[in-house]
Structure 1
Amino acid sequence: MSGRGNLLNLFNKKTRSSEISSSSEYYENDCGFNIHHSTSSGEFHRLPKDNIGSDLLKTIKNMDTSVGRGRAQFVQTFKSNETNLGKRKDDTSSIQSKDTINNESTSSLENSKVHNDEFFPNVVHGSKGSSVILSCNYIELKTDENKGVYQYEVRFFPAVDSVHLRIKYLNEHMDKIGGTKTFDGASLYLPILLENQMTVLVSKSMDTEVEIRILFKKKEPFKNCLHLYNILFDRIMKTLNYVRFDRKQFDPSCPKIIPQAKLEVWPGYVTAVDELEGGLMLCCDVSHRILCQRTVLDMLIDIYKKNINSYQDLVKKTLIGNIVITRYNNRTYKISEVCFNESPQSIFHTKTGPTSYVQYYTKYHNINIKDINQPLLLSIKKARGTPEDTENIEFRLVPELCYLTGLRDDIRSNNKLMREIATYTRVTPNQRKLALDKFYDNVSNTPAAREILDRWGLALFRNLNNLKGRQLDSEQIYFGKKVVTAGQNAEFSKDAVKNEMLEAIHLNNWIIIHFKTDLRAAISLLDNMKQCCRPLGMNISKPKIISLDHDRINEFIDALRRNIVMETQIVVCICPNSRDDRYSAIKKICCLELPVPSQVINAKTLCNETKNRSVVQKILLQMNCKMGGSLWTVKIPFKSVMICGIDSYHDPSNRGNSVAAFVASLNASYTQWYSKAVIQTKSEEIVNGLTSSFEAALNSYKKRNGCLPESVIIYREVQINWTIHCLEPWLMNT
């Protein structure tokens, strides 16, 4: 069900949901699988660590709150006469008391099909638009009725504190509990039901015996085993020799080479097991990863040749936070630091004694390191399942053996190269289907992969059935004096630059700051703005133009401080080149010290007279939004709703701290927004900062509209560890 359909069902009970089908440009090259406008009124704020969630209840009384995911599938509203959060059955509750055995779990095995009424009580099928037959990237997982996931509690007598020893003792009896298990030191999961309610095993430790009691607790339902199933598919990917990057797996055996840029594209997949209307399903989508064919050492040499004086700073800026791969073992590491005081000649300790990195790689990997004076790269990984104060695991890497992965800034700025990369990474629907078929065949034809599934009573089922969806009519786009149709491709960018804006802000008091050699770019900008502003419904007065003798950062900062006044609507800075430090300094002045909207322009973007008009049109649209105007809107079917968005950012160079960003709509056309950024330390829960932001957004909404919203919709970034359960304690009484 689409996000819009859920919204209509949630806020307008008379309207049915529907599905939006979008088309995209087709790219017919080999995809690598061997198959042929806003006002921002907010603040920057550091939060204390104390819990402020309890204060939110007073603010959000009598409100509905829903949480949206990436595909806009919204959960039921909390304010429902039929549902009471306080009495809701907790399907993920902890294990029962050690002395209690769940007798119900010994009943007959569950059916492999899931009852839709249990998991999806409010399934709504759309009626708007036209019916369309769709294919989906899901593979059905069949379950063996004679197997499942059985949970056991394991006790040791005498007590064994070490998790490592517990696992060791239990592994001595694999023949008695079967060859397949998942054990964390306390809870044991097996795909089989042991004969006895309690199984007693004995292991020897030194001169004493350790008694192991395995107590059957219950058979886990499928919906509680999704994490386990996802782990199983991670293991399957390893048997297929795929390389893991974040949550995605890539095939290093069939890269697509881009020789001019010395890049290669690895094809891969991202998989996830979930419980859906059709039962247990594996979602499998196509993904790609960019790898550099040049070593990190080659990059260090290039940086050194270009700028000797700031060599170390540039190296750290280029590498820290990025992911590299070592091809001798196809493992990935995130760079945490560059150790200029160490080299391959440095000594470290192993189980067999001290050795150098040169000797180590020669002995264990048969690799001769050529440059013995290069610095080392440091990668820090947190040990799994250990307390916070446990020492992290450190890896020293040799740049000569490392290759950078991902899209660097210089690649992103190269439009020609990005178009070439897109021929491999943007795949057609038909290519996606073929890639899905290839994945199914790889798993089915690999005995080791099949065995992993068989042990847990699982099997992939090639489901060629299509499903019915809904294709909505084209959306109407409302400009200032005209309504246009977005079309089947939802493309209306040309209409946006030739129609009057919904809310145009006239430029009466503004500033242009430029370096003296960029005078021509400043004149071209102003001339094109005067030509483009009238069709957009915007009037532009002559700005205050400031020419700088030097392009130093301090020159721009001083010019901003001297010329920004209360009446200034916006500041335009034309910079001779792209420099992050100068950009950051300008934004710091305009966002914190002297709050005023700002527009930073690279002079190189205004050097082509034939393209300047289209460039300036887009700049004008940005400036109008920054000053509080609106470009366009669409007809929203529900009223008195506040839509929120949440995202997070972590700067690799500032380890430990992250920034949580929060935005919320303030008006009925959803063109005015409140925003807030909160610094989060590593030990703080992100939900604390979001609670403070949410409360402030509600106050802003009430101040503008005279009342609180009746409902709230929250979109969150998928990787944020923040779910509907985080809100429940604060919404219990709503």
Structure 2
Amino acid sequence: MSGRARGRARGRARGGTEEQQARRPGEAEQAATVPPPPVMPPQETQAPPPASGRASYRGGAREPRPGMASGECPRVPTAELGAMTIGTGEASEVGRRRREFRYVEARTRPAHIVDKRGSVGNQLPLIANFFRMERAPDWHMYQYHVDFNPVVESKRMRIALLFQHENLLGRTRAFDGMVLFLPVRLMQQTTEVYSKRKTDDVQIRITITMTNELPPNSPQCLQVYNIIFRRVLAMVDMKQIGRNYYNPSLAISIPQHRLQVMPGFVTSILQYENEVLLNCDISHKILRSDSVLDLMYDMYQRNQNTFHDEATRSLVGSIVLTRYNNRTYRVDDIEWDKRPDDTFKLHDGSEISYRDYYKKNYEIDVQDADQPLLVSKPKKKDIRRGQKDNLYLLPELCKMTGLTDEARADFNVMKDVGAHTRVAPAGRIQSLTSFVRQINSNENVCKEMGGWGLRFAQDLLNLNGRILPQEKIFQQGGELSYKQEDADWSRDMRGKQLITAVSLDNWVIIYTRKNSGQAQDFVQTLSRVGPPMGMKISQPIPCELTDDRNESYLSALRNSITPKIQLVMCVLPTNKKDRYDAIKKFTCVDRPVPSQVIVSRTLNKKQMMMSVATKVAIQLNCKLGGEVWALEIPLKNLMVVGIDSYHNSSKRGHSVGGVIASMNGALTRYYSRCTFQHSMQELMDGLRVGMQGALQKYHEVNGSLPERIIVYRDGVGDGQLPAVAEHEVPQLLDSFKKAGGQEYNPKVGVVIVKKRINSRFFARAGQQLTNPPPGTVIDTEVTKPEWYDFFLVSQSVRQGTVSPTHYNVIWDTTGLRPDHMQRLTYKLCHLYYNWPGTIRVPAPCQYAHKLAFLVGQSIHKDPSFDLADRLYFL
């Protein structure tokens, strides 16, 4: 079964209380200083379905959800207040934004790395999606501490009292209730002013003390830059949805699939190698054009008996958007017994129904009085902020975001969506430059930015990258010839033998009577494509089933697998996940043997049979311990390790960590282990056991322990970087020493691999703009001064813009120069045997991902150690 097909089958892979306002249902807690958003007109709704579908689609009463008494209504507490005002005293949600933005990056650059730039390769002029922030050479920002006497608890009141002195402070300022930022320096070090509180006519003394003169690249300045820019985005009619900004008025409809594509931008302002830059990239929000309630109508009309189960399966875990406030929420449950006419308490103690609330605050008339409510549970950060109760959302007012598994498996849907979301380099550059020029030409933006003495450059950043030399790829009989810009050598492999071919002498094929013809034809094709690759594929032991029940497959596996069986192949009539999971669990845990699962529709196209059989034969060879191709690896006694994690679908909050370690000098044979984790400690315990097993196996194979170990750690977000650097790396080093004895002290490098980045790079080809060729390295200008990092474009894409991968070396005692680290990383991107070309991440990371994915989605248990030295998870 191919990786893409398997992914589709499984379903794919974050103050005071004086004047607080009532909490809106389905809305995150607002800071007290934030005025309510403008009332949006109600969205147009489709004509309701027939009365039979509206009045009784719940299918009868349900038991109350555990933990909530029948009829109990939520009381929504008020969150801790926190806001900062920008410009003319208007309030904005800075408390939340501060939590989203990291002001100080963890410094992980090894002390001995003075110059992290490489020199190997040809220079390549590039354009990056960054804009310089322009300001005067002697520009500074001034920070002040503000005290109130007598003490004023309400932040909103403190802001109002201070801003009575606009003549002194000016109209450009930023204040969070305690700290004040100004673009100008006040005349005195300490300034005292007086304001009157209107509520009781009490005079308040305000003491403004200068505490710091901030340079342009200070963390506090970066904080203010981002806050200012978010306000700028609002000035050009962009709406914040999640963390990014979108323009709802430019949404593109795809009516044949009931979808909308809303364009927007993801932005951040940070200190890079030499200066402060605005990173800006195109983003798209995909929405259903119909409401969640419309989807529930469709489900109910298709099958009333299974409605509850289907609705729960389809909606729980999804992300919805409430268009009245442009916020996104995760659906954690469906409260079948709650209705729009149910009431909840406001903070003044009065009660109001959900229906009346939306009519009063948003002028929205709720149409269906019988709809249940969606439940969104508070996240950890919400609980820390004081929100402990659930949020309740009306399906009628919610739209689904993203694409369902069924939509992702539909070629036509992905093709039509991709026509709007896959933007080529030329179109991307045009959109970005037009966006920044629109900002620079807007009168309100110029007034706001000019008050701070800031401006963005009109053009994108120009910089130089390097193209690494093309790697030589070998199979039995010689070197493959291919073009580096294509990054694909599938044609060159034809007729050439694999590096290490394993004969398939004893194996079983299981199929239903309906698929017997396809299975037999496929076996014959396999026997023809195997010998040219060096594989002898004998006739299998056939096992025909009369039905396709899970138990029938398990019974056949139980009766067929003996100690002599090398492999089991199952041809399935459909790609049902539970059947696939049952087969994989049995063959990976209960009776460990490599297995191959193929869906019958993959074998339907006769003209593609040879191609499919060739790819399957290569997979079978890998699962049996063979090797397909190899590269020149000049480093000796080297072990490379890949670590990745994946969500465990059987236990919420738990993850599976995959650990892959190389066992030979060519980096083509691997040992694998996995660990189940709920916390960092569990992850480290699992890594320690996995590394000890890998080192023991390496010693068994090679007769010695590796001199160098380079770990590629995937699955780490920005917020987890300090934890990895401060806790995971020391324990990882300790596990090496304990595994090899007290005198064993290998040279170690730890590299963080990051794929979810917004940096993009473009190359010129004459008058055209194209994607950079594979092998392009960027290690200047847009890297971080506190990191030993680089960007690598390792793969080729035929549509849209290529996404680079960001590598951050957080520990390095290997003695390798930056050129060596970059070239080794690029080499490893050639060694993933499931694709005859380069991939986006090093092969050990991708193997670790495949292992964690298989265990997290299907097995949910530790695979047998008998399979640990083979790539059985491909």
Q: By the TM > 0.5 criterion, same fold?
A: yes
Q: For residues 120 and 264 of structure 2, what CA distance do their matches in structure 1 show?
A: 36
Look up the match of 2:132: 140
Look up the match of 2:822: none
Change over 3 Å in CA distance of 1:693–1:564 after alignment to 2: same
Q: For residues 215 and 141 of structure 1, what CA distance do their matches in structure 2 show?
A: 26
* 1:167-206 matched pairs, under 5 angstroms: 168-169=157-158, 172-174=161-163, 175=165, 190-198=182-190
Q: For residues 420 and 235 of structure 2, what CA distance do their matches in structure 1 show?
A: 25
Look up the match of 1:336: 332
* 1:519-530 matched pairs, under 5 angstroms: 519-530=516-527
Change over 3 Å in CA distance of 1:283–1:698 after alignment to 2: farther
Residues 618-674 of structure 1 show CA distances to partners (whole Å, capped at 9, x for unaligned) of 222223223332322333454444434343333678433333444343333222234
Look up the match of 2:615: 618
TM-score by length of 1: 0.74
Q: For residues 128 and 180 of structure 2, what CA distance do their matches in structure 1 show?
A: 35
Look up the match of 1:367: 364
Q: For residues 570 and 168 of structure 1, what CA distance do their matches in structure 2 show?
A: 73
Structure 2 residue matching 1:581: 3-state secondary structure: helix
Aligned pair 1:236/2:232, yes or no? yes
* 1:641-720 matched pairs, under 5 angstroms: 641-650=638-647, 654-681=651-678, 693=690, 697=694, 700-705=697-702, 706-717=704-715, 719=717
Look up the match of 1:491: 488
* 1:117-132 matched pairs, under 5 angstroms: 121-124=114-117, 126-129=119-122, 131-132=123-124
Q: For residues 716 and 238 of structure 2, what CA distance do their matches in structure 1 show?
A: 24
Look up the match of 2:719: 721
- CA deviation after TM superposition for structure 1 residue 408, in Å: 1.8
Residues 216-254 of structure 1 show CA distances to partners (whole Å, capped at 9, x for unaligned) of 146256153545544443443333343445544333222
Q: For residues 647 and 254 of structure 1, what CA distance do their matches in structure 2 show?
A: 38
Residues 398-423 of structure 1 show CA distances to partners (whole Å, capped at 9, x for unaligned) of 22222222122122212233233322
- CA deviation after TM superposition for structure 1 residue 434, in Å: 0.3
- CA deviation after TM superposition for structure 1 residue 392, in Å: 3.5
Equivalent residues of 1:137, 1:436 under 8 A apart: yes
- CA deviation after TM superposition for structure 1 residue 605, in Å: 1.8
Residues 680-716 of structure 1 show CA distances to partners (whole Å, capped at 9, x for unaligned) of 3368686676566556555554554422342424243
- CA deviation after TM superposition for structure 1 residue 187, in Å: 5.9
Look up the match of 1:578: 575
Change over 3 Å in CA distance of 1:709–1:125 after alignment to 2: closer
Aligned pair 1:416/2:412, yes or no? yes
Match of 1:253 among 249, 252, 267: 249
Gaps in structure 1 of 5+ consecutive residues: 1-74, 84-120
Look up the match of 1:589: 586
Change over 3 Å in CA distance of 1:365–1:159 after alignment to 2: closer
Equivalent residues of 2:130, 2:461 under 8 A apart: no
Q: For residues 605 and 304 of structure 2, what CA distance do their matches in structure 1 show?
A: 33
Residues 439-464 of structure 1 show CA distances to partners (whole Å, capped at 9, x for unaligned) of 21232133444455445443101236
Aligned pair 1:219/2:214, yes or no? yes
Structure 1 residue matching 2:423: 3-state secondary structure: coil
Structure 2 residue matching 1:135: 3-state secondary structure: strand
Look up the match of 2:543: 546
* 1:270-309 matched pairs, under 5 angstroms: 270-309=266-305
- CA deviation after TM superposition for structure 1 residue 157, in Å: 7.4
Structure 2 residue matching 1:122: 3-state secondary structure: coil
Q: For residues 375 and 538 of structure 1, what CA distance do their matches in structure 2 show?
A: 59
- Amino acid across the alignment from 2:421: T
Q: For residues 694 and 178 of structure 1, what CA distance do their matches in structure 2 show?
A: 61
Change over 3 Å in CA distance of 1:609–1:450 after alignment to 2: same
Look up the match of 2:630: 633
Structure 1 residue matching 2:439: 3-state secondary structure: helix
- Amino acid across the alignment from 1:341: D
Change over 3 Å in CA distance of 1:710–1:197 after alignment to 2: farther
Q: For residues 147 and 682 of structure 2, what CA distance do their matches in structure 1 show?
A: 33
Change over 3 Å in CA distance of 1:189–1:635 after alignment to 2: farther
Residues 539-586 of structure 1 show CA distances to partners (whole Å, capped at 9, x for unaligned) of 212223222233222322333334333443332222221222222222
Q: For residues 692 and 201 of structure 1, what CA distance do their matches in structure 2 show?
A: 64
Q: For residues 354 and 550 of structure 2, what CA distance do their matches in structure 1 show?
A: 42
Residues 466-488 of structure 1 show CA distances to partners (whole Å, capped at 9, x for unaligned) of 43333344433222333223312
- CA deviation after TM superposition for structure 1 residue 602, in Å: 1.7
- CA deviation after TM superposition for structure 1 residue 184, in Å: 6.5
Equivalent residues of 1:646, 1:660 under 8 A apart: yes
Change over 3 Å in CA distance of 1:238–1:77 after alignment to 2: closer
TM-score by length of 2: 0.63
Q: Say which is worse superposed, 416-425 or 683-692, in terms of deviation.
A: 683-692
Equivalent residues of 2:334, 2:372 under 8 A apart: yes
Aligned pair 1:609/2:606, yes or no? yes
Structure 1 residue matching 2:245: 3-state secondary structure: strand
Q: For residues 699 and 183 of structure 1, what CA distance do their matches in structure 2 show?
A: 59
- CA deviation after TM superposition for structure 1 residue 139, in Å: 0.8
Equivalent residues of 1:152, 1:189 under 8 A apart: yes
- CA deviation after TM superposition for structure 1 residue 733, in Å: 12
Change over 3 Å in CA distance of 1:525–1:168 after alignment to 2: farther
Q: How many residues align?
A: 617
Structure 1 residue matching 2:250: 3-state secondary structure: coil
Look up the match of 1:345: 341
Gaps in structure 2 of 5+ consecutive residues: 1-106, 734-810, 814-874
Q: For residues 467 and 199 of structure 1, what CA distance do their matches in structure 2 show?
A: 46
Q: For residues 279 and 614 of structure 1, what CA distance do their matches in structure 2 show?
A: 51
Look up the match of 1:442: 438
Change over 3 Å in CA distance of 1:554–1:656 after alignment to 2: same
Look up the match of 1:427: 423
Residues 75-125 of structure 1 show CA distances to partners (whole Å, capped at 9, x for unaligned) of 9874x6x47xxxxxxxxxxxxxxxxxxxxxxxxxxxxxxxxxxxxx41535
- Amino acid across the alignment from 1:679: F
Q: For residues 150 and 684 of structure 2, what CA distance do their matches in structure 1 show?
A: 41
Residues 521-551 of structure 1 show CA distances to partners (whole Å, capped at 9, x for unaligned) of 3223212211222222212122232222332
Structure 2 residue matching 1:535: 3-state secondary structure: helix
Equivalent residues of 1:147, 1:456 under 8 A apart: no
Percentage of pairs with the same residue: 32
Change over 3 Å in CA distance of 1:724–1:366 after alignment to 2: closer
Q: For residues 200 and 645 of structure 1, what CA distance do their matches in structure 2 show?
A: 60
Equivalent residues of 1:641, 1:713 under 8 A apart: no
